Every structure is written in C-alpha cells, then in structure tokens.
Copies of this chain bind each other. A is one copy, B any other.
C-alpha cells in the first residue's frame, strides 16, 4: 500500500492528453469516463488485450515500439472483425523506477500510432506496480450493424486464406534472441522488426465483410488459430505447408533449417488475417489484394471432420505432425509470449 509517483503521473497526463484532443467525448482525459454517441447502423466492436514485460515483450524493447505493438495487437483483433478502429483506453501499471525518458518515448509511440490509424485515446488508468510493466488496452471500433465477422462463420468447402506472410514474428523473436544464424543481417532485422511492430490489416478487414465467412487474426500461431476458427465453426481444415506465404527472409531461414517450419506453423505473433471464403470469392479477393497491395494466399480448405482439427500436408503429400495448442483462452488474445 504505497503511493504513486506524482511527478511521473503528472508527466503521463501531459503526454496522454493530446492523444484525446481530437475527440470531445474523451473530456480531455480529465474525467473518470468518456462519452461516445450512438451511431445508428453500426455495432461497436470491443476488444481488450494485455501485455506484460518479460512475457509478451522484452523489458528492454524500445518503449515506443512497446506502445505501438500494444495498439496494433488490438487493432488486429478489430480488423479481423471487419471493424474500423476508433477509440483506445489504456491502463498502465508502471514499475516505480520507470524513468521520464522511457515515458516520453512510450508516449511518442502512442502518439505516432494514434495519428497513423486516425484513432483517439479516450480514457484509462495509471497505477504503480511493484511488478513488471503491465499494459492493458481496450480498443473500440465500429462495423455495419450485424455484419461483423466471427470465428464461427466458416463453411465446409471454404478456402482458407491468409494475408501477408506467416512466421516472421516467431522467427523474429528467435533472431532477437540470437537463435537464428546464417541469414543476412538485413533479413534478421526484417524479421525482428516484424516481431516488434506488427502491421494490423486495418484496411483489409473492413473490405472482407462481403467476402469472408469465418475470420480471426493469427496471434497464437497459424495452426492453433485455424483450429480455433474451425472449432468455433464446427469443422476441420486441411492446409498445405508449401502454400503458406513466406517472406523472403523467412524463406531464407527455412532453407538453412527446415525444422523452423514448426515455428512458422505454430509460433504466433503474425497479426495477419486468417479467413475462409467460398471458392467463388477467389477472383474478387485477387482484385482486392492488388488494390490494397496486401498479399492474399489460399492455403487450404475447410472441411467436415473432427471439430477443430487442422491437418498440415507437406510437399511430399504426407501429413506433417503438429503439436496444436489447446484452447487456453477466454475472450481471445494471447496469454503467453509464444
């Protein structure tokens, strides 16, 4: 039962207030709550994710990137629902020795992404902790009423699609830890950058409303998350390892060490969109891909079968055994660093 750190809390108030300036309902972050007017014709989409230093990010990661990753992880969940991001609420439990420089860098990261994504900080809380830095973000978005995408919408026969490239986040964490040798420095930096700063598919998500059946983002690992989607939809899936889109950096790493395929399949931290759509949607999706400049790749198919089971087929046509994480969630988000 100890007091806070008044100077730091004053600085935080100073750093955060401008992030609310564009939205009057935030009351300048100087009240205990925010007011958001109803928008007829839209549903609010609400998501919440926490990150703990030493669990979800490295304690000495650059503070601006920690802030931006926190935002982006949540925006990725909104994108997977087909929602546009609108508002953030941030609760931060800061260790007592958090420094002013650290806070300024953290605030700058928040500011950058608030600007990048055209969103507003509308509230939150700041507390002291004797433990590690613990950050919780609630993100609110909006989607046309009744049209939001869900995990549970997949249909038998649907093609399984992923955006961007898969495996970079997991390989990036290995690179940061010095466990990825042999690839070029540039590739190593690309991969670690993908771990530290995801690029949530905020433009793509809302464009999938008429196309995708089941959808979610890949945060826990492709196979686990496809398993979640299948389980929610009462179906199974079969994907082909050779069709999983890899970045040049990831491809180079796998060429040197085939066993890294396990990290690609189950490693997580991709923050790409995973969705299913009927075969007829393929052409429209190809158009959308070139329009947005976001790769969209069909990697397999949803089918009847053991609910939630994901079968991965190798280049030789044989099944690749994958240890598939169990369902360890409530309300989504990842509860562990990898």
Assess whether A331 is in contact with B49, with CB atoms less than 8 Å apart: no
Name A's interface SS.
mixed
Instruction: With both chains docked as a complex, state the minimum distance between the C-beta of A320 and any C-beta of chain B, in angstroms.
Output: 22
In the complex, which residues of chain B have a beta carbon less than 8 angstroms from the beta carbon of A30? 151-152, 232, 329
Known: A45-B34, A148-B35. A52 touches B335 (CB 8 A): no
Assess whether B2 is in contact with A336, with CB atoms less than 8 Å apart: yes
Instruction: With both chains docked as a complex, state the minimum distance between the C-beta of A267 and any C-beta of chain B, in angstroms.
Output: 12
In the complex, which residues of chain B have a beta carbon less than 8 angstroms from the beta carbon of A1? 54-55, 58, 173, 337-338
What's the number of copies of this chain in the assembled complex?
Answer: 2
Assess whether A49 is in contact with B91, with CB atoms less than 8 Å apart: yes
Give which listed residue, B48, B130, B326, contacts A131 with CB less than 8 A: B130
Instruction: With both chains docked as a complex, state the minimum distance between the C-beta of A106 and any C-beta of chain B, in angstroms.
Output: 13
Assess whether B152 is in contact with A77, with CB atoms less than 8 Å apart: no
**Which residue, of A42, A46, A52, A327, has the highest number of chain B Cβ atoms within 10 A?**
A46
In the complex, which residues of chain B have a beta carbon less than 8 angstroms from the beta carbon of A173? 1
Assess whether A49 is in contact with B125, with CB atoms less than 8 Å apart: yes
The answer for the CA separation of A152 and B35 in the assembled complex, in Å, is 14
The answer for the CA separation of A330 and B136 in the assembled complex, in Å, is 15
The answer for the CA separation of A334 and B43 in the assembled complex, in Å, is 31
Taking Cβ atoms with an 8 Å cutoff, the residues of A that contact B are: 1-4, 6, 9-10, 12-13, 16-17, 25, 27, 29-52, 54-56, 58, 77-78, 80-81, 83, 87, 89-91, 93, 122-132, 134, 136, 138, 140, 143, 145-146, 148, 150-152, 173, 216-217, 232, 326-338
9 A-B pairs within 8 Å (CB atoms) are namely: A2-B336, A33-B45, A33-B148, A36-B45, A48-B123, A52-B130, A55-B128, A123-B331, A129-B131
